[in-house]
Amino acid sequence: MEISEKDNELVMKLLHYFITEQEYSPVILHGAQNEIWLENFSSDYKIVRIVTNYIHNNEQLNFDIFKTRQIAKKIKSKTFSFSINVMSIFLNLGDNVVLENGEMINKNISCVSLKDIKDLEKHKLIIDAFPDIAKETNFKEQGMELFVKITSEIGMKNETESKKAEEVFKEKKPVVTYGLIAINVIIFVLMYILGYGSTNVATLIRFGAQYKPLVLNGEYYRLLTSAFLHIGIIHLLCNMYSLYIIGSQVENFYGKAKYLVIYLFSAFTGSLLSLLFVDTISAGASGAIFGLLGSILYFGYHYRVYLGTVIKSQIIPIIFLNLLIGYLTPGINNFAHVGGLIGGILISKAVGVKYKSSKSDIINGIIMTVILTMFLIYMAFFK
């Protein structure tokens, strides 16, 4: 069915509002005709549909809701979302379709019938979710002037968002990662030059390995220095390879300064948690590396439109597999892994994800990070 000029203008005004004012982005769906899907996973309504297709009766409406729910389930799975609320804005409902006051809520799908832009103020569902929509869709321009203004501003908004995404995902040289690897390798070599090797207990303690009696006796620096020591060449090679692969991505996504904060704090929380349960000598960068995995997990949640599939198919399985190996393999300090993972997620929330984290997200992250740190310190040193 061909869309009328009136409906076309209404669609343009709604698109302008949701894209430029509410940060929604178009969703590309194959086979979906006479409807536009928009997504914003920071909004209460993660999906907004603008439907121009003619709905003759309630049976067709019910089928449309069923179809919408199936597509929403796929988006939910792909984007690693716990729930998805959808608002369907129908511009062409037939007289045989019965909606109370032009609105209906069917579980996670809200339906609104709209005939004119002025009808927005009549719908509590829309006004509650988007209080400024009536004001922001009230244009003085008309006809071609309105069309040019709307398309130009939507184009500028899309271009800005594309530049932001390009900036975040653009590959950068992982200088900090190279530096961390170099420090670990240099210290490993020095353990042979100045000591008796990387597996010698006395040498490990001399170079700063974590040992509970010494840490509790005031040698707190071991909580960090232990993350730069490795017991044997295999331990070093495995951790440095993991650091190169994972660290390069985290440095790319967060930037050098935030990446270094995430790495060191994850190493610190990994050491603190292991201090509660491990009495033997402990060393290695794996706690910090698990923190980097946690930071990718947090980043992927915010950019799940881009990384949702990768998070589900790769990152989460890698985390669980390595934790399982840690529990099943003797001699592996899995408490450092868990502590690093938790610390990595929380400190990532505290430092924030570029263009995605709000001030309240960062403040909450800082509060949660401080609480975690104080709790672990209390349990390790004062309990």
The residues carrying an active-site annotation are 286, 337
Residue pointed to by tokens 């009536």:
134
Cα–Cα dist 334/72, whole Å: 38
Distance CA(11)–CA(49), nearest Å, equals: 11
Q: How far apart are the first and last CA of the chain?
A: 72
Question: Strands 47-51 and 86-90, how do they pair?
Answer: parallel
Distance CA 140, CA 331 (A): 72
Does residue 333 sit in helix, strand or coil?
coil
Query: At 374, is the secondary structure helix, strand, or coil?
Result: helix
For strands 109-113 and 86-90, give the pairing.
parallel
Rounded to whole angstroms, how far apart are CA atoms 183 and 228? Answer: 7
User: Pseudo-torsion of CA 28, 30, 34, 38, nearest 10°?
Assistant: -20
Sheet with 35-39, side-by-side order of all strands: 25-27, 35-39, 47-51, 86-90, 109-113, 103-106
Measured torsion, CA atoms of residues 149, 151, 153, 154, in degrees rounded to the nearest 10:
160
CB 66 within 8 A of CB 60: no
Q: Write b or e for each residue in 64-81: b if 16 or more Cβ atoms lie within 10 A of its Cβ, otherwise e.
A: bbeebeebbeebbeebbb
Q: Is the dihedral of CA 312, 314, 315, 318 positive or negative?
A: positive
Residues 6+ apart with CB under 8 A from 114: 10, 89, 90, 91, 102, 120, 123
